[in-house]
Amino acid sequence: MAGRATASCAECRRRRIRCEGLTTPCHQCVYYQVPHLCHYPPRKQRRNVSWRSHSELSEAHAKAQRVLDTLFPSCSLDELCSMSRVALLSKAQALAQSEKSTNELQDLEPPPERDFTWDEVSDGGESERVADDINGMADSLDSLNSFNASYVGFSSVPTILRVIAHLSPRIRQVVPPNPETLKAPVALSASPGSTMSSDLDELSLINAYFFHVHPVTPMIDEVDFRQRFSNGVSKYPSNSWLALFNMVLAMGSFASDTELFNKNNVLYKRALSYLSLASLGSGNLYTVQALALYGGYILHYLNKPNTASAIMGATIRMAVAMGLHRAQMPEHTSPDAVQHAARSSIMTRIRTWWSIFCLDTWAAATLGRPGLGYWNPATVLTSPMSSLASLDYGTISLAASEQFCKIATRIQERLVQVPLITPDEIAEFDRELLEFQSSLHMFLANRDHCPPNLRVARSLLRCRFITTRLTLYRPYLLSTALHRKSWADTSQQGQTANTPAWKCVQIAREALDVISLDWFPNHIIAWNHAWHLFQVSLVLVLAAVSDRTGVEQGRCDEDITKALVLLTQMEPFNAGAMRGRRIIRILYDNIRNPQESDAVDFDAVGSSVLDFLDLDLLGNDTDWLGLLCDYNENS
């Protein structure tokens, strides 16, 4: 049965005018000279949605969404709608292959059921301490249980060591049974109870801090700090100020290239005497800054990354409680002294927030576990450094670090979810990083234009940038090596020169050139460059051992030799460089003449990684902890 006709004709409804609804054509259609358009369409029958139909529709939508999420887990619906059938099939195949390799690579991570425990509390024998930072990692379960055994993910050193040891089992047979033979001499430092010498030049330490460290993390108001120092420290008895003052002295000692370098041990311990758990209950900017220096720098130098992570977590929470994450510069301020002081105070709060954010992001790099820098943009309203009008060196440096860390945190978050992200995602992240590099201020982009007190900040930023790129591509090199495929097989013919595995090796070579150009004698530079150079060298060693055809073998030899020379140059400034050089030398010397039965063919076995790697890479036949023990120089 046909539906009842509408009371107005279709043309009058379109024009939104009154229709008498009695004749065809109606008077209005005759008046507007469109009688041929006048008709009365039948009314559409309305259907009320029942709970049953709503439930069926919701269930069908959920099923369709599950199918899409299964086939295309990292793609948006808008992106998929714009793709052809062929493109969708190609995308699904690439994601399936990536997921297969991801599941295989995730077997290289320690199982979550392990009882992770560590000890970074005892002060006895700090020079022998090894932590799970990239500074020194272990693969021996027995050793891990005896020392530090916190969770680290796929982007950490043990994974690449396991793959190297799998490809060249001979390495496990030649590691010295007594790791003492690899230990670098450690200078004796003052005991915790030692008193400072009366002739200690505190002003020199303050100058060293503001010349080398402050441009990297410019969170302290230099004018206010120097004014307090000139007035006399005794005039400011608060524990928060005294803690910050001594942390600055400790970092100044660490940054100093003179004999004052060895004083940092006593200075940071003196600073700790003014800090306690009760300090966490004091919302004071000086306390936040002192804890940031302690957790962001000193504890990592002491190879205590888990303690550093805990301290930084508390520091960030204190900063949030103080509202530093919402500090905003006023748009208009009067030029009087009161307004100028208020503006300077807000600037310090903004700088402190972004310094903490960057310190936490840098610490999480290559550990395979995220930092605490993942904040909802809706709640973090602090003015970005790039929007501040000040063009001093600290603002320029921190603005660049802020932009970089925003990209790096998203990369870390993605790699925590899945170690082997798709080539398209890698290319997109890499594009963002390269765009960031191209947008750098000329002081940071060009070495010839870089002021002397920005050299350290520029060098560290460049190393972190290239190590982050390396972390993006390294899982594909590991996967290629495990499958016994040569990353260099066809690069000579120009067919696979843009594959992720090949790209990883090229970035490692670029990193080697960057470190070689930026390196200069300085304790902070040596500490950080030895950290990054060890990371780069491991990639080059893996590239050498996985190049089955020998297409790139000669160039790998040159690269590794160059890295060893650089580490040798850094040894007078950082004992960790000596340890890193000895480790790389042992690894490299014992892969140059691989045995025929070095490893099992991955594809021939057709099982998960650990099925054929067994526990030999995780067992106690190789004391990686002893081998990598104390990679970074302790105080």
Q: What is the pLDDT of residues 36-49, one digit of tens each?
A: 999 888 877 766 66
246: pLDDT strictly greater than 50:
yes
Are 465 and 594 in the same domain?
A: yes
Name the more confident of 168 and 127: 168
Spell out the residues 6+ positions from residue 317 whose beta carbon is closer than 8 angstroms to its own: none
The answer to which of 198-202, 233-237, 508-512, 561-565 has the lowest mean pLDDT is 198-202
Spell out the residues 6+ positions from residue 337 whose beta carbon is closer than 8 angstroms to its own: none
The answer to which of 246-250, 255-259, 284-288, 623-627 has the lowest mean pLDDT is 623-627
Q: How far apart are the first and last CA of the chain?
A: 93
Name the more confident of 218 and 490: 218
128: pLDDT strictly greater than 50:
no
Q: Which of 364, 387, 417 is the endpoint of a domain?
A: 417
Q: What's the rounded mean pLDDT across residues 64-91? A: 75
Q: Which of 386, 417, 448 is the endpoint of a domain?
A: 417
C-beta neighbour count of 331 within 10 angstroms: 5
Are 409 and 478 in the same domain?
A: no
Per the domain annotation, does 431 fall within a domain? no
125: pLDDT strictly greater than 60:
no
d(CA 113, CA 246): 42
233: pLDDT strictly greater than 60:
yes
Percent of the chain topping pLDDT 90: 20
The pLDDT tens digits of the residues spanning 392-421 come to 888 899 999 999 998 998 888 888 777 778
Are 115 and 208 in the same domain?
A: no
Per the domain annotation, does 70 fall within a domain? no
Q: Report residue 617's pLDDT band, with 50, 70 and 90 as the boundaries.
A: very low
160: pLDDT strictly greater than 70:
yes
535: pLDDT strictly greater than 80:
yes
91: pLDDT strictly greater than 60:
yes
Are 341 and 222 in the same domain?
A: yes
Per the domain annotation, does 52 fall within a domain? no
The dihedral formed by the CA atoms of 307, 309, 310 and 313, expressed in degrees to the nearest 10:
160
HEC states along 61-130?
A: HHHHHHHHHHHCCCCCHHHHHCCCHHHHHHHHHHHHHHHHHHHHHHCCCCCCCCCCECCCCCCCCHHHCC
Q: Which of 357, 383, 417 is the endpoint of a domain?
A: 417
Are 336 and 479 in the same domain?
A: no
Q: What's the rounded mean pLDDT across residues 105-113? A: 57
Q: Is 534 left (phi over 0), alpha (psi -120 to 50) or beta?
A: alpha
The reported pTM is: 0.72
* pLDDT confidence of residue 226: 93
* pLDDT confidence of residue 478: 84
Spell out the residues 6+ positions from residue 422 whose beta carbon is closer than 8 angstroms to its own: 74, 94, 95, 98
Q: Report residue 269's pLDDT band, with 50, 70 and 90 as the boundaries.
A: confident
The structure tokens listed for 615 are 């526990």
Q: What is the count of structural domains for the chain?
A: 3
Are 227 and 321 in the same domain?
A: yes
* pLDDT confidence of residue 285: 92
Q: What's the rounded mean pLDDT across residues 82-95? A: 75
HEC states along 504-564?
A: HHHHHHHHHHHHHHHCCCCHHHHHHHHHHHHHHHHHHHHHHHHCCCCCCHHHHHHHHHHHH
Q: What's the rounded mean pLDDT across residues 139-159? A: 52
d(CA 110, CA 150): 10
* pLDDT confidence of residue 598: 45
Are 287 and 160 in the same domain?
A: no
d(CA 154, CA 108): 7
219: pLDDT strictly greater than 90:
yes
Taking a C-beta distance cutoff of 8 angstroms, is the pair 244, 289 a contact?
Answer: yes
User: Residues 371, 160, 306, CA angle at the centre, nearest 5°?
Assistant: 30
Q: Report residue 336's pLDDT band, with 50, 70 and 90 as the boundaries.
A: low
* pLDDT confidence of residue 166: 76
The structure tokens listed for 476 are 């594909």
Kindly report the CATH number assigned to the domain that includes residue 39.
4.10.240
Are 219 and 281 in the same domain?
A: yes
| 171-180: b (≥16 Cβ within 10 Å) or e | bbeebeeebe
* pLDDT confidence of residue 248: 94
d(CA 302, CA 299): 5
* pLDDT confidence of residue 97: 60
Task: Give me the phi and psi of 363, to 5 degrees please.
Answer: -70, -30
Are 226 and 346 in the same domain?
A: yes
Per the domain annotation, does 424 fall within a domain? no
* pLDDT confidence of residue 587: 82
Are 208 and 302 in the same domain?
A: yes
84: pLDDT strictly greater than 60:
yes
d(CA 497, CA 164): 23
The pLDDT tens digits of the residues spanning 424-459 come to 888 999 999 999 999 998 999 888 899 998 999 999
Q: Report residue 124's pLDDT band, with 50, 70 and 90 as the boundaries.
A: very low
68: pLDDT strictly greater than 90:
no
The answer to which of 85-89, 175-179, 448-452, 617-621 has the lowest mean pLDDT is 617-621
* pLDDT confidence of residue 515: 92
Percent of the chain topping pLDDT 70: 67
Are 442 and 389 in the same domain?
A: no
Are 238 and 199 in the same domain?
A: yes
* pLDDT confidence of residue 121: 66
d(CA 289, CA 273): 16
* pLDDT confidence of residue 207: 92
Which domain, by its residues, includes 601?
83-183+438-635
Per the domain annotation, does 483 fall within a domain? yes
In the block, residue with structure tokens 């070579």:
509
Taking a C-beta distance cutoff of 8 angstroms, is the pair 511, 442 a contact?
Answer: no
64: pLDDT strictly greater than 90:
no
Per the domain annotation, does 177 fall within a domain? yes
518: pLDDT strictly greater than 50:
yes
182: pLDDT strictly greater than 70:
no
Per the domain annotation, does 299 fall within a domain? yes
* pLDDT confidence of residue 114: 57
Per the domain annotation, does 422 fall within a domain? no
Q: Report residue 355's pLDDT band, with 50, 70 and 90 as the boundaries.
A: very high
